[in-house]
Amino acid sequence: MASVTKISDHKSQKQNHTDIRNLISGKSKLTEELIKLIQMVSRSNSTALILGETGTGKDVIARAIHKASQRSGDLITVNCAAIPSELLESELFGHEKGAFTGADKLRKGKFEQSSGGSMFLDEIGDMPLSLQAKLLRAIENKTIQRVGGSSDIKIDLRLICATHRNLEKKVDSGEFRADLFFRINVLPIQVPSLAERRDDIPDLVLNLLKNVDTEDELKPKFTPDAVTALTKHNWPGNVRELKNLIERACILFQGQEVTSTNITENLLRLKAPNTIEEQNEIWEVTSELMDDVNFHEDTEDDELNSLPHPNNYKDWFTFYDEIDIRRHLQDIEIILIEAALEKTNGKISNAADLLKLRRTTLIEKMKKFSISRHDSN
Protein backbone atom coordinates (compact mmCIF):
# COMPACT_ATOMS: atom_id res chain seq x y z
CA MET A 1 0.00 0.00 0.00
CA ALA A 2 2.90 2.33 0.78
CA SER A 3 4.23 2.07 -2.78
CA VAL A 4 0.77 2.78 -4.21
CA THR A 5 0.54 5.90 -2.05
CA LYS A 6 3.97 7.10 -3.23
CA ILE A 7 3.02 6.61 -6.88
CA SER A 8 -0.24 8.48 -6.32
CA ASP A 9 1.57 11.33 -4.57
CA HIS A 10 4.09 11.54 -7.42
CA LYS A 11 1.32 11.74 -10.02
CA SER A 12 -0.43 14.42 -7.96
CA GLN A 13 2.75 16.51 -7.70
CA LYS A 14 3.39 16.14 -11.43
CA GLN A 15 -0.19 17.24 -12.18
CA ASN A 16 0.20 20.22 -9.84
CA HIS A 17 3.35 21.29 -11.67
CA THR A 18 1.51 21.05 -15.01
CA ASP A 19 -1.42 23.08 -13.66
CA ILE A 20 0.94 25.82 -12.48
CA ARG A 21 2.96 25.78 -15.72
CA ASN A 22 -0.25 26.32 -17.70
CA LEU A 23 -0.75 29.60 -15.84
CA ILE A 24 2.80 30.94 -15.40
CA SER A 25 5.10 31.55 -18.37
CA GLY A 26 8.87 31.65 -18.24
CA LYS A 27 11.90 29.52 -17.47
CA SER A 28 14.10 31.99 -15.59
CA LYS A 29 15.62 31.02 -12.26
CA LEU A 30 13.26 33.34 -10.37
CA THR A 31 10.22 31.86 -12.10
CA GLU A 32 11.33 28.29 -11.41
CA GLU A 33 11.79 29.19 -7.74
CA LEU A 34 8.36 30.83 -7.71
CA ILE A 35 6.73 27.71 -9.17
CA LYS A 36 8.41 25.49 -6.58
CA LEU A 37 7.16 27.78 -3.81
CA ILE A 38 3.63 27.72 -5.21
CA GLN A 39 3.73 23.92 -5.26
CA MET A 40 4.74 23.80 -1.58
CA VAL A 41 2.14 26.41 -0.57
CA SER A 42 -0.65 24.65 -2.48
CA ARG A 43 -0.25 21.49 -0.37
CA SER A 44 -1.25 23.39 2.77
CA ASN A 45 -4.54 24.98 3.80
CA SER A 46 -2.77 27.80 5.65
CA THR A 47 -3.33 31.39 4.56
CA ALA A 48 -1.02 32.57 1.77
CA LEU A 49 0.04 36.21 1.36
CA ILE A 50 1.16 37.24 -2.13
CA LEU A 51 3.35 40.35 -2.22
CA GLY A 52 4.52 42.27 -5.27
CA GLU A 53 4.35 45.42 -7.32
CA THR A 54 1.23 46.42 -9.21
CA GLY A 55 0.87 44.44 -12.43
CA THR A 56 3.15 41.53 -11.50
CA GLY A 57 0.33 38.98 -11.81
CA LYS A 58 -0.58 38.34 -8.19
CA ASP A 59 -4.04 37.21 -9.31
CA VAL A 60 -2.40 34.61 -11.58
CA ILE A 61 -0.39 33.31 -8.62
CA ALA A 62 -3.62 33.02 -6.61
CA ARG A 63 -5.25 31.01 -9.40
CA ALA A 64 -2.18 28.77 -9.60
CA ILE A 65 -2.29 28.08 -5.84
CA HIS A 66 -6.00 27.25 -6.00
CA LYS A 67 -5.66 25.08 -9.10
CA ALA A 68 -2.74 23.11 -7.64
CA SER A 69 -4.49 22.67 -4.28
CA GLN A 70 -7.10 20.38 -5.85
CA ARG A 71 -9.85 21.97 -3.73
CA SER A 72 -13.24 21.00 -5.12
CA GLY A 73 -14.87 24.45 -4.89
CA ASP A 74 -14.38 27.64 -6.88
CA LEU A 75 -11.90 30.46 -6.43
CA ILE A 76 -13.88 33.54 -5.40
CA THR A 77 -12.10 36.89 -5.81
CA VAL A 78 -12.78 40.10 -3.90
CA ASN A 79 -10.86 43.30 -4.65
CA CYS A 80 -10.82 45.16 -1.35
CA ALA A 81 -9.74 48.40 -3.02
CA ALA A 82 -12.51 48.38 -5.65
CA ILE A 83 -15.52 48.05 -3.34
CA PRO A 84 -16.68 51.02 -1.22
CA SER A 85 -15.97 50.43 2.47
CA GLU A 86 -19.65 50.70 3.39
CA LEU A 87 -20.49 47.82 1.01
CA LEU A 88 -17.46 45.60 1.62
CA GLU A 89 -18.76 44.03 4.85
CA SER A 90 -21.98 42.88 3.19
CA GLU A 91 -20.01 41.70 0.14
CA LEU A 92 -17.76 39.51 2.30
CA PHE A 93 -20.12 38.29 5.01
CA GLY A 94 -23.52 38.57 3.37
CA HIS A 95 -26.62 39.96 5.07
CA GLU A 96 -29.94 38.89 6.50
CA LYS A 97 -33.24 40.10 5.13
CA GLY A 98 -34.03 43.50 6.60
CA ALA A 99 -30.48 44.06 7.88
CA PHE A 100 -30.49 47.54 6.34
CA THR A 101 -32.52 49.67 3.94
CA GLY A 102 -32.72 47.83 0.62
CA ALA A 103 -31.89 44.40 2.07
CA ASP A 104 -35.17 42.88 0.90
CA LYS A 105 -33.85 39.32 0.90
CA LEU A 106 -31.13 37.16 2.45
CA ARG A 107 -27.84 37.27 0.58
CA LYS A 108 -24.85 34.98 1.02
CA GLY A 109 -21.47 36.71 1.03
CA LYS A 110 -18.19 35.73 -0.58
CA PHE A 111 -17.11 33.71 2.46
CA GLU A 112 -20.07 31.37 2.13
CA GLN A 113 -19.73 31.25 -1.66
CA SER A 114 -16.10 30.19 -1.23
CA SER A 115 -16.87 27.27 1.08
CA GLY A 116 -15.17 24.15 -0.25
CA GLY A 117 -12.90 26.25 -2.45
CA SER A 118 -10.65 29.28 -2.01
CA MET A 119 -11.20 32.99 -1.48
CA PHE A 120 -8.75 35.53 -2.88
CA LEU A 121 -8.70 38.86 -1.06
CA ASP A 122 -6.86 41.11 -3.48
CA GLU A 123 -5.42 44.41 -2.21
CA ILE A 124 -6.04 43.46 1.41
CA GLY A 125 -3.78 46.34 2.38
CA ASP A 126 -6.65 48.67 1.44
CA MET A 127 -9.22 46.96 3.67
CA PRO A 128 -10.80 49.42 6.15
CA LEU A 129 -9.51 49.09 9.70
CA SER A 130 -13.07 48.62 10.95
CA LEU A 131 -13.44 45.38 8.97
CA GLN A 132 -10.06 43.90 9.84
CA ALA A 133 -11.17 42.70 13.29
CA LYS A 134 -14.14 40.85 11.81
CA LEU A 135 -11.90 39.24 9.18
CA LEU A 136 -9.46 38.14 11.88
CA ARG A 137 -12.28 36.47 13.84
CA ALA A 138 -13.48 34.68 10.70
CA ILE A 139 -9.97 33.33 9.99
CA GLU A 140 -9.35 32.20 13.56
CA ASN A 141 -12.81 30.75 14.34
CA LYS A 142 -13.63 29.50 10.81
CA THR A 143 -17.09 30.95 11.31
CA ILE A 144 -18.83 34.14 10.16
CA GLN A 145 -21.96 36.07 10.96
CA ARG A 146 -23.99 37.78 8.26
CA VAL A 147 -24.70 41.48 8.63
CA GLY A 148 -27.82 41.73 10.77
CA GLY A 149 -27.51 38.11 11.89
CA SER A 150 -26.54 36.45 15.17
CA SER A 151 -25.93 32.84 14.13
CA ASP A 152 -22.44 31.49 13.52
CA ILE A 153 -22.00 29.96 10.06
CA LYS A 154 -19.15 27.49 9.57
CA ILE A 155 -16.88 28.04 6.59
CA ASP A 156 -14.39 25.70 4.92
CA LEU A 157 -12.10 27.57 2.57
CA ARG A 158 -8.52 28.35 1.69
CA LEU A 159 -7.74 32.05 2.14
CA ILE A 160 -5.29 33.72 -0.24
CA CYS A 161 -4.44 37.40 0.21
CA ALA A 162 -2.45 39.82 -1.92
CA THR A 163 -1.24 43.41 -1.77
CA HIS A 164 1.25 45.78 -3.34
CA ARG A 165 1.38 47.76 -0.09
CA ASN A 166 4.10 47.48 2.54
CA LEU A 167 1.98 45.96 5.30
CA GLU A 168 4.71 46.25 7.92
CA LYS A 169 4.78 50.02 7.40
CA LYS A 170 0.99 50.14 7.56
CA VAL A 171 1.15 48.21 10.85
CA ASP A 172 3.65 50.75 12.20
CA SER A 173 1.41 53.64 11.14
CA GLY A 174 -1.67 52.04 12.71
CA GLU A 175 -3.46 51.52 9.37
CA PHE A 176 -3.30 47.73 9.52
CA ARG A 177 -3.81 45.48 12.53
CA ALA A 178 -0.65 43.73 13.68
CA ASP A 179 -2.55 40.60 14.76
CA LEU A 180 -4.21 40.30 11.35
CA PHE A 181 -0.86 40.80 9.60
CA PHE A 182 0.75 37.98 11.56
CA ARG A 183 -2.30 35.79 10.94
CA ILE A 184 -2.24 36.14 7.14
CA ASN A 185 1.55 36.20 6.79
CA VAL A 186 1.86 32.43 7.33
CA LEU A 187 3.03 31.59 3.81
CA PRO A 188 4.40 34.76 2.14
CA ILE A 189 5.12 34.69 -1.59
CA GLN A 190 7.16 37.53 -3.10
CA VAL A 191 6.39 37.92 -6.81
CA PRO A 192 9.37 39.32 -8.76
CA SER A 193 8.92 42.33 -11.00
CA LEU A 194 9.15 41.86 -14.76
CA ALA A 195 12.43 43.80 -14.76
CA GLU A 196 13.85 41.09 -12.47
CA ARG A 197 12.81 38.30 -14.83
CA ARG A 198 13.60 39.73 -18.26
CA ASP A 199 14.58 36.27 -19.54
CA ASP A 200 10.89 35.33 -19.34
CA ILE A 201 9.77 38.05 -21.76
CA PRO A 202 10.06 35.95 -24.99
CA ASP A 203 7.85 33.23 -23.43
CA LEU A 204 5.44 35.82 -22.06
CA VAL A 205 5.09 37.47 -25.48
CA LEU A 206 4.20 34.14 -27.10
CA ASN A 207 1.73 33.27 -24.36
CA LEU A 208 0.07 36.70 -24.35
CA LEU A 209 -0.24 36.64 -28.14
CA LYS A 210 -1.82 33.19 -27.93
CA ASN A 211 -4.45 34.52 -25.53
CA VAL A 212 -5.42 37.52 -27.67
CA ASP A 213 -8.93 37.02 -29.02
CA THR A 214 -8.22 37.42 -32.73
CA GLU A 215 -7.44 35.17 -35.67
CA ASP A 216 -3.86 33.90 -35.82
CA GLU A 217 -3.19 35.36 -39.28
CA LEU A 218 -4.12 38.82 -37.96
CA LYS A 219 -1.75 38.65 -35.01
CA PRO A 220 1.50 40.63 -35.40
CA LYS A 221 4.85 38.85 -35.72
CA PHE A 222 7.55 40.12 -33.35
CA THR A 223 10.99 40.06 -34.94
CA PRO A 224 13.99 38.91 -32.83
CA ASP A 225 15.23 42.51 -32.56
CA ALA A 226 11.76 43.55 -31.34
CA VAL A 227 11.85 40.93 -28.58
CA THR A 228 15.35 42.14 -27.65
CA ALA A 229 14.00 45.69 -27.41
CA LEU A 230 11.26 44.45 -25.07
CA THR A 231 13.83 42.83 -22.78
CA LYS A 232 15.66 46.16 -22.45
CA HIS A 233 12.60 48.11 -21.26
CA ASN A 234 12.27 48.73 -17.51
CA TRP A 235 8.55 47.74 -17.35
CA PRO A 236 7.33 49.91 -14.47
CA GLY A 237 3.86 48.45 -15.10
CA ASN A 238 5.23 44.89 -15.09
CA VAL A 239 3.36 42.07 -16.88
CA ARG A 240 0.20 44.18 -17.12
CA GLU A 241 2.12 46.79 -19.11
CA LEU A 242 3.50 44.08 -21.40
CA LYS A 243 0.00 42.68 -21.89
CA ASN A 244 -1.29 46.14 -22.83
CA LEU A 245 1.57 46.56 -25.30
CA ILE A 246 0.73 43.22 -26.95
CA GLU A 247 -2.92 44.25 -27.27
CA ARG A 248 -1.86 47.60 -28.75
CA ALA A 249 0.39 45.81 -31.25
CA CYS A 250 -2.54 43.61 -32.30
CA ILE A 251 -4.52 46.76 -33.11
CA LEU A 252 -1.81 48.82 -34.79
CA PHE A 253 0.09 46.06 -36.62
CA GLN A 254 -2.50 43.49 -37.66
CA GLY A 255 -0.81 40.69 -39.60
CA GLN A 256 2.44 42.69 -39.85
CA GLU A 257 5.95 42.40 -38.51
CA VAL A 258 6.77 44.39 -35.39
CA THR A 259 10.37 45.64 -35.35
CA SER A 260 12.50 47.18 -32.60
CA THR A 261 11.75 50.61 -34.07
CA ASN A 262 8.02 49.95 -33.77
CA ILE A 263 8.55 48.90 -30.16
CA THR A 264 10.41 52.03 -29.10
CA GLU A 265 8.57 54.59 -31.20
CA ASN A 266 5.00 53.36 -31.70
CA LEU A 267 4.29 50.99 -28.82
CA LEU A 268 6.28 52.03 -25.75
CA ARG A 269 5.57 55.72 -26.26
CA LEU A 270 3.55 57.80 -28.67
CA LYS A 271 5.52 59.50 -31.42
CA ALA A 272 4.50 61.46 -34.47
CA PRO A 273 4.97 59.33 -37.61
CA ASN A 274 8.02 60.30 -39.67
CA THR A 275 6.52 59.93 -43.14
CA ILE A 276 3.17 60.53 -44.78
CA GLU A 277 2.88 56.79 -45.45
CA GLU A 278 3.58 55.91 -41.82
CA GLN A 279 1.24 58.67 -40.67
CA ASN A 280 -1.61 57.39 -42.81
CA GLU A 281 -0.97 53.77 -41.81
CA ILE A 282 -0.89 54.49 -38.07
CA TRP A 283 -3.80 56.92 -37.95
CA GLU A 284 -5.98 54.79 -40.20
CA VAL A 285 -5.93 52.19 -37.45
CA THR A 286 -6.00 54.45 -34.39
CA SER A 287 -8.86 56.47 -35.82
CA GLU A 288 -11.04 53.41 -35.33
CA LEU A 289 -10.52 53.87 -31.58
CA MET A 290 -11.96 57.40 -31.77
CA ASP A 291 -15.42 58.76 -32.48
CA ASP A 292 -14.67 60.14 -35.92
CA VAL A 293 -12.66 63.02 -34.50
CA ASN A 294 -11.82 65.79 -36.99
CA PHE A 295 -8.06 66.07 -36.41
CA HIS A 296 -7.76 69.67 -37.64
CA GLU A 297 -11.14 71.27 -37.05
CA ASP A 298 -9.68 73.99 -34.81
CA THR A 299 -6.62 74.96 -36.85
CA GLU A 300 -5.85 76.17 -40.33
CA ASP A 301 -2.12 75.50 -39.98
CA ASP A 302 -1.19 72.68 -42.36
CA GLU A 303 2.19 72.39 -40.63
CA LEU A 304 0.47 70.69 -37.70
CA ASN A 305 -1.04 67.93 -39.86
CA SER A 306 1.70 65.42 -38.99
CA LEU A 307 1.24 65.74 -35.23
CA PRO A 308 -1.01 63.53 -33.11
CA HIS A 309 -4.27 65.25 -32.27
CA PRO A 310 -4.73 65.75 -28.49
CA ASN A 311 -8.05 63.89 -28.66
CA ASN A 312 -6.11 60.69 -29.36
CA TYR A 313 -4.92 60.70 -25.76
CA LYS A 314 -8.46 60.10 -24.52
CA ASP A 315 -7.89 56.39 -25.33
CA TRP A 316 -4.64 56.24 -23.33
CA PHE A 317 -6.21 54.36 -20.44
CA THR A 318 -7.50 51.69 -22.80
CA PHE A 319 -3.89 50.55 -22.96
CA TYR A 320 -2.35 51.76 -19.69
CA ASP A 321 -3.53 51.97 -16.08
CA GLU A 322 -1.74 55.25 -15.39
CA ILE A 323 0.61 57.85 -16.89
CA ASP A 324 3.42 59.97 -15.48
CA ILE A 325 2.18 63.04 -17.35
CA ARG A 326 5.15 65.26 -16.51
CA ARG A 327 7.64 62.67 -17.74
CA HIS A 328 5.57 61.97 -20.85
CA LEU A 329 5.23 65.64 -21.80
CA GLN A 330 8.95 66.10 -21.19
CA ASP A 331 9.69 63.19 -23.59
CA ILE A 332 7.51 64.83 -26.24
CA GLU A 333 9.30 68.18 -25.78
CA ILE A 334 12.72 66.55 -26.14
CA ILE A 335 11.72 64.65 -29.29
CA LEU A 336 10.26 67.75 -30.99
CA ILE A 337 13.15 70.04 -30.02
CA GLU A 338 15.72 67.56 -31.33
CA ALA A 339 13.70 67.08 -34.54
CA ALA A 340 13.47 70.86 -35.08
CA LEU A 341 17.21 71.31 -34.53
CA GLU A 342 17.99 68.48 -36.93
CA LYS A 343 15.69 69.93 -39.59
CA THR A 344 17.30 73.38 -39.29
CA ASN A 345 20.89 72.07 -39.14
CA GLY A 346 21.26 73.25 -35.56
CA LYS A 347 20.14 76.85 -36.20
CA ILE A 348 18.42 77.76 -32.95
CA SER A 349 16.50 80.77 -34.32
CA ASN A 350 15.00 78.71 -37.15
CA ALA A 351 14.22 75.80 -34.80
CA ALA A 352 12.47 78.22 -32.45
CA ASP A 353 10.34 79.44 -35.37
CA LEU A 354 9.35 75.86 -36.21
CA LEU A 355 8.35 75.25 -32.60
CA LYS A 356 6.67 78.67 -32.27
CA LEU A 357 8.89 79.50 -29.30
CA ARG A 358 11.02 82.49 -28.44
CA ARG A 359 14.71 81.90 -29.10
CA THR A 360 15.55 82.49 -25.42
CA THR A 361 12.85 80.02 -24.33
CA LEU A 362 14.25 77.34 -26.64
CA ILE A 363 17.77 77.92 -25.31
CA GLU A 364 16.49 77.53 -21.74
CA LYS A 365 14.78 74.26 -22.64
CA MET A 366 17.91 72.98 -24.39
CA LYS A 367 19.94 73.67 -21.23
CA LYS A 368 17.26 72.06 -19.05
CA PHE A 369 17.18 68.85 -21.13
CA SER A 370 20.93 68.88 -22.00
CA ILE A 371 20.21 69.05 -25.74
CA SER A 372 23.09 70.03 -28.05
CA ARG A 373 22.75 71.89 -31.38
CA HIS A 374 24.20 69.16 -33.67
CA ASP A 375 25.46 71.68 -36.23
CA SER A 376 25.95 70.15 -39.68
CA ASN A 377 28.32 72.92 -40.75
pLDDT tens-place string over residues 128-186 = 999 999 999 999 999 999 999 989 999 999 999 999 999 999 999 999 999 999 999 99
Do residues 221 and 249 make contact, with C-beta atoms less than 8 angstroms apart? no
Q: How far are the Cα atoms of 30, 50, 73 from residue 292, in angstroms, in the given order?
A: 46, 44, 47
Label residue 318 by pLDDT band (50, 70, 90): low
Tell me the residue length of the chain: 377
So what's the pLDDT on residue 375?
Answer: 52
Do residues 108 and 159 make contact, with C-beta atoms less than 8 angstroms apart? no
With a pLDDT cut of 90, the percent of the chain lying above it is: 54
pLDDT tens-place string over residues 89-140 = 999 999 999 888 888 899 999 999 999 999 999 999 999 999 999 999 999 9
Q: Which of 265, 220, 215, 216 is nearest to 246 (CA)?
A: 220
Do residues 124 and 184 make contact, with C-beta atoms less than 8 angstroms apart? yes
> Taking the mean position of all CA atoms in its chain, how far away is CA 335?
28
pLDDT tens-place string over residues 20-40 = 888 898 999 999 999 999 999
Label residue 250 by pLDDT band (50, 70, 90): very high
Label residue 276 by pLDDT band (50, 70, 90): low
Rounded CA gap, 127 and 81, in Å? 7
pTM for the predicted model, two decimal places: 0.69
With a pLDDT cut of 70, the percent of the chain lying above it is: 79
Rounded CA gap, 11 and 24, in Å? 20
So what's the pLDDT on residue 259?
Answer: 94
Rounded CA gap, 64 and 189, in Å? 12
So what's the pLDDT on residue 376?
Answer: 45
Label residue 74 by pLDDT band (50, 70, 90): very high
Domains defined for the chain, CATH in brackets: 2-192 (3.40.50.300), 196-322 (1.10.8.60), 324-377 (1.10.10)
So what's the pLDDT on residue 104?
Answer: 86
